Structure formats: structure tokens, C-alpha cells
Amino acid sequence: MKTIQHWINGSPAPGAGPETAPVFNPATGQEQAQVALASRADVDAAVAAAAQAFETWSESSLTQRTQVMFAFRQLLVEHEEELGRIISAEHGKTVDDARGEITRGREVVEFACGLGDVLKGSFSDQVSRGVDVHDFRQPLGVVAGITPFNFPAMVPLWMHPIAIATGNTFILKPSERDPSAANFVAELYKKAGLPDGVFNVVHGGKEAVDAILGHSGIEAVSFVGSTPIAKYVHETATSRGKRVQALGGAKNHAVVLPDADLEFAANHITAGAYGSAGERCMAVSVAVAVGAAADGLVEVLERKAREVKVGPGDAPGTEMGPLITRTAQERVEDAVGTAATQGATVVVDGRGLKIDDHPECADGFFTGPSLLDHVTTEMDSYQEELFGPVLAVVRVDTLDEAIALINSNPYGNGTALFTASGEAARRFQRNVKVGMIGVNVPVPVPMSYYSFGGWKDSLIGDSPIHGPEGIRFYTRPKVVTTRWPQPAQQVSAGFNFPTSS
């Protein structure tokens, strides 16, 4: 059985740590590889390689950096199918879904290709007699990313292209559950001409995370994951003087008004709830049915949920694959049972699903789409981030009640409104306390030239990811005030506080 190694200083590295962890195929439930788990010594080696590479990479021209990004972007296009199948085999999502996440990640690479324009500073002439002022931004140094299992390509791609294009060197600690995508990306970077040591990968669990958070040679840490861990990462790293991006969990609501096209809304909510088996932070986990929309919406959602084709991610026609682990499968199915005992109506029950067309999947981590109606805010199925294919329907009487419901939730990641009313949409987007909003769009992930980040417990600290905020995060500004007096000119110095006279 193969062992997936780290990637340090431009090549695979077995690492000094003796521990490994199993990597499963979620569709079959079978172990398919072992992954090396990094020790502190392995993190030290990656930091040393990245620090040495920073000395030259930070002095490279913008042209060189963007040329690498253009080449890397083209390699992502050429190898999209191969990378998609690697992701599907370890995560369980469909190959089409995996290709979709690669595409969304590649958009950040394309944004990084244009940083020559974005990084232009400003210049002010003659702010005082014979004095000019200009500013520019410089890279931080060695930076790190700690990323989740649900998007093994896209979420890291939200980080490292911008970090590298702005002159930093990068250490990625991906999820040990689906580690191979990170190594594949490292190989593409090398083919694109990225110098050794600029991009490194260390696999591992808490020991590797703590080594990154505490390492004096790492200037900044980007994190995406659950809210409790985001808080831990933020508190631990900032206490050691690091910059931190820490994106946490979510409970995303889709509000449906009576004037909405219910077929259209249900189609998009179904995809938003059950796509990627609900294992994404922007998944629609709550449908808020307003007034007369409720019964009709539930009827259409039931039909759509029963039509979802569940199977192995590499099988033609599959729309939803398995969950990432047996533990995740059991947790989601237990949540459906708990919802029933707490008074919710189980309209569609995805528990105990068998994939009859694929006998090799008898032990896979499958559960079908579940649809719950008459859910209240006191129920566990509403309060917890289930991270699985479970859609809860909450009924309210008015749009204002829906907004109040969302605003009282501790999370504030994404939300959506389905309506034909411009007035309702404007009122919703101004009053709802959420960072990313879709109007007739179920999963409002911003384009790469905007920044991604929620409010409240969905973003710990104040640093969103990619776009303009990503550039600010991975660089620090300098402001230079200059005077070039003529050789014969005498300029007296004053002892009072300087002014621009």
C-alpha cells in the first residue's frame, strides 16, 4: 500500500515523523493509502526551505511571478480531469463536482495573473515644497495555509496563488483525509517553473497544526474549517504575533417568498443542499418558507430530493456521492433520527441507503438526501452544522420574520432569497446580517476579484479570503516621503512638528 509523502523544497519527502493515517475511498469504504503525518521536525524542514526560497523569490520581478502563474493556470486546465478524479477517489464527490471546484480555484490563479495592475502603488507630487510621497506593498515572508477536506483543491487555491504571486513562500497543511490533491498541485507548480521551496506541503493532524501556529518563522496563517478550530487557530497564532485569516462554520438559509417561482427555487435549493453531499460551508441547510409558499415548496422539494442520483463519484450520471468517513455518515443519520424525535416531519429519509447498482459500494459511506419539515429553531437539526445532505424547512409568516430568524443565528456566512420583488430583495440584502448574499442564487460564492468571508461566528477576526482582502493580508504597506534638494539649496530644519506648508 502506498504512503503519501510530504512535498518539501521541490520534491517528495518521507518526513521524520513515524506516524501515518489511513486514506479511504469513501465510495467503497476501503483503505487505499497511508499518509505520512508531519512531526515538528518536518514543519521545521518546510519552514527552512521556504525561508531560504523567500530570499530570492521575494526579489523576483512581477513579470517572473506572473509568468509562473500563467503557466500554472494552463497546467490546471490541462490536468483538470486527472486532478478531478484524484479528488473524487479520496473525497467521494462526483468527478464533475471536483472539476467545478478546480475551476473556481483556477479563477483565483487568474486573478493572481493580473496582480501587476492590482499592486500598483500611488504617488503624490509636491505634498510640501519639494516633497513627494509614494507607497507600495511588500510580501510578509513564509506564510501557511491549513485547509479542510471538503475542497482539497479549491480552498488551498484561494490562498497560495495570491500569497506566491505577491512574493511570499507558502506551506500548505491540507486535510489528512484527502491529501493527494495537494501533492499533485505541488507537481504542477514545479512544472510551471516555480522555484523549489516556494510551495511546500506537510501532511498531518494536530501536531502539525500546532507546530505551524507556534513557529517563529511563519508570519501568517490562513485557515478554513469549523468555528471552534477557527477560534483556536486565531487565538493561538495571533498570541504569537502572526496575521490570521480564520474562516469558520455556517448555517446558510435560503428564503423563499410566495411570489417566487417554486420550481426554479426548489431546483436551486436542492442542488445547494445536496451537492457535494452537503459537505461545504456554503451549502443550503435551511429553507425558510414564507407564508403561502410553504406547502408548495415542500411538495416540490420532496420530488426533487427523491430524484437525486446517489452513487460513486466516478460513475456516469451520479449527482451526489458518499460522505467523507463512516463517522460523518453515522453523525448525519443520527441527526435525522433526532429531528424526528424532536418533532420534525421527516418528508424524505435518506438513512440506510443501498447502492444496488454498484455492489462494490456495499460498505461505502453513503446516505441519501433527507428533507425535514416543520423544523423549529430549538431543534438540534437547526442549531447544529450537520455538514451532510440534510435540508431543514422552517416556516415563517413574513419576510421580516425570516430576516430576524437569520440574524439571530450565530453564523453569518451565506444566505439567499428567492423572489420576483426588487423591493423585497433590496430590503433583504440591506437588513440581513450575513457576509455573502444571493438573490435567486443559492450558493453565493463571490468571484475571485471579490473577497470571501462571512460575519459573526463564520469569520473569526476580520480578514476575509482572496480578492482585495487576500492581497492586503499577504502584504504590508510602506509609505515613503522624499525630498531631493538642489545641490546649492539650503533647507533649514525646524524643531516643530512637520507640516505640509
Residue with cell 415548496: 297
Residue with cell 418533532: 343
Contact 271, 280 (CB under 8 A): no
Question: Which of 44, 52, 149 is CA-nearest to residue 93?
Answer: 149
Beta partners for 346? 372
Distance of CA 496 to the CA centre of its chain: 51
Decide: 367 and 348 in contact? Cβ < 8 Å.
no
Catalytic residue list contains 281: yes
For residues 359 and 414, give the distance between their C-alpha atoms in angstroms, rounded to a whole number. Answer: 38
CB–CB of 193/71 below 8 Å? yes
Q: 156: closest CA among 200, 116, 196?
A: 200
**CB neighbour list of residue 311: distance below 8 Å, 6 or more residues apart:** 27, 317, 318, 321, 355, 357, 358, 361
Q: Which of helix, strand or coil describes residue 422? A: helix
Helix (H, G, I), strand (E, B) or coil at 42: helix
Question: Going by DSSP bridges, is the β-strand pair 6-8/252-256 parallel, antiparallel, or unpaired?
Answer: unpaired
Strands in 123-128's sheet, in edge-to-edge order, are 123-128, 131-139, 475-483
Are residues 470 and 447 in contact, defined by beta-carbon separation less than 8 angstroms? no
Helix spans in 166-221 (H): 180-191, 206-214
As a 3-state breakdown, the chain gives helix, strand, coil percent values, each rounded to 5, of 40, 25, 40
Q: What is the DSSP letter of 492?
A: P
Query: DSSP for 338-369?
Result: HHHHTT-EEEE--TT---TT-GGGTTS-----
In three-state secondary structure terms, 93 is coil
- How far, in Å, CA of 464 to CA of 108, rounded? 14
Task: Annotate 262-327 with DSSP letters as a single string.
Answer: HHHHHHHHHHHHHGGGG-STT-EEEEEEETTHHHHHHHHHHHHHHH--BS-TTSTT--B---SSHH
* CA neighbor of 107 nearest in space, from 152, 67, 129, 76: 76
Pick from 431, 342, 438: nearest CA to 381:
342
- CA 461 to chain centroid, in Å, comes to 16
Catalytic residue among 102, 281, 353, 443: 281
Contact 124, 132 (CB under 8 A): yes
Residues labelled catalytic = 281
